[in-house]
Amino acid sequence: MRIAGRIVRDRETMDTLTHGLAGALLARALPPPRDEGLAAALRRREAWTGFAAAMAPDLDALLSPFSADFYITHHRGLSHSFVLLPLWALLIGVVATWGVARGGSGPPGRRAAFLRLSLVSAVGLASHVLLDWITSWGTMFFSPLSWERYSLDWVFIVDLVLSGLLALGLLATRAAGRRQGPRSARLAATAGALAATAYIAFCGVQHGRALAVGETIALPGAVARAAIPQPLSPFRWLLLSDDGARVRSAFVDLSRTASPPRVAGGVDSLSRLTSGEAGPLAALRHLDGLFASPDALRPQDVAKADGPLSMRALVEGEKGVFGRFARFPAARSEPRPDGGVTVELRDLRFGHLAGAIDPFTYVVRFGASGELLGEGFPSPRWGAHGERAR
């Protein structure tokens, strides 16, 4: 198993199960309907509706095997839009109301059930958009009015603490409901949601700290700066700055004081991590070795392009699909035996974690005379649709 490669493949969207847990927990935390009969009849259905609605926006990922261009252009677009959220909520409400009995005296009326479940769906959908916003990929939540991507860079894409808090909140809700009834269950769900929110806010504070540390090593005249969350700890960050010609990066662990790393750090740990030769435990150790304390950082500068063909590929790539998501792009060229050159374009927010071609590495192939032979995303994830010949 290659931990680094798995991380890169999964970094484009928060894991869907965590979204579902959040939607179910928020559904249980909502104030109940005034009609006690309606509240009792829909209690379980609400939780499952919140769970499903919170996962629904990632249905756009089902098209990802067919086109890298489509996925990069549209993922976290229309299905993640606040503008279209009412429409999606009503559609899910229609499906969730299926099978609810008609009438208003005993079983809930379909109209009241529809309105209630549409509200639950809206909450679940909104939670998905907000949880994606706090990660680093970028969410187009004003589409189709605007296709700009928004990201807070607060939380790593798979955060076990956040997932654990949501799961514990649901377990506590279930236990409270069985022992003390619906009101206690709702209070437990509210407490669980507040705990998850507090953790997210804590990550936001650490992000601010990381940005402040990043300012101390940023390239002079940097036009872009960022602190990107890293796996396994809210104290670990990748600091990036871009001055137009170079990208400077450094890995920081805010919880560390100045001391030598426990394993070889910097380039050595990064090369070992991405080589795929080590097993899972060794990979984790080398990942740990990347991070230094704030006062002992080891910044590295990378030229955005290492030659004329790399610069040509980078300029053209930033105009196309690659440029629609890449915030810190860099291009590297490799000569081929036939005299041609292959240029790889990566977003350094993510590309440092994989030695092999990851799904979002853009490759441009030039012939011996500099003619363009082909370009695209050649990862096996996209099959035959990834790279286009010229």
The model's confidence at residue 390, banded by pLDDT at 50, 70 and 90, is low
Distances (CA, A) of 288 to 136, 206, 256, 273, 292: 21, 18, 11, 10, 9
Q: What are phi and psi of 85, to 5 degrees?
A: -55, -45
Q: What is the per-residue pLDDT for 102?
A: 54
Round to whole Å and give the CA distance between 265 and 253: 13
Q: What is the per-residue pLDDT for 110?
A: 83
- The kind and range of the H/E element at 202 are helix 182-217
Q: Is 387 exposed, middle or buried (0-12, 13-18, 19+ CB in 10 A)?
A: middle
Do the Cβ atoms of 318 and 329 come closer than 8 Å? yes
Q: What is the per-residue pLDDT for 38?
A: 86
Q: Averaged over 74-78, what is the pLDDT?
A: 88
What share of residues in the chain are helix, strand, coil (percent, to 5)? 50, 15, 35
| Single-letter amino acid, residue 313 | A
Q: Which residue has the tokens 């390239």?
A: 219
pLDDT tens-digit profile of 200-225?
Answer: 999 999 999 999 999 999 999 999 99
Q: Averaged over 143-160, what is the pLDDT?
A: 94
Round to whole Å and give the CA distance between 185 and 170: 9
Do the Cβ atoms of 13 and 60 come closer than 8 Å? no
Q: What are phi and psi of 290, to 5 degrees?
A: -70, -25
Distances (CA, A) of 57 to 46, 48, 82, 141: 18, 16, 11, 11
Query: Mean of the per-residue pLDDT values for the chain?
Result: 86
**Facing residues of 341 across strands?**
335, 366
Distances (CA, A) of 202 to 152, 195, 235: 13, 10, 10
Round to whole Å and give the CA distance between 254 and 340: 44
**pTM score of the predicted model:** 0.86
pLDDT value at 10 more than 70:
no
Q: What are phi and psi of 370, to 5 degrees?
A: 90, 5
pLDDT tens-digit profile of 247-264?
Answer: 999 999 999 886 555 444
pLDDT value at 281 more than 80:
no
Round to whole Å and give the CA distance between 155 and 203: 6
Q: Which residue has the tokens 């479940």?
A: 117
Q: Averaged over 304-321, what is the pLDDT?
A: 93
Residue of 49, 133, 131, 154 lying closest to 95 (CA atoms): 49
Q: What is the per-residue pLDDT for 283?
A: 54
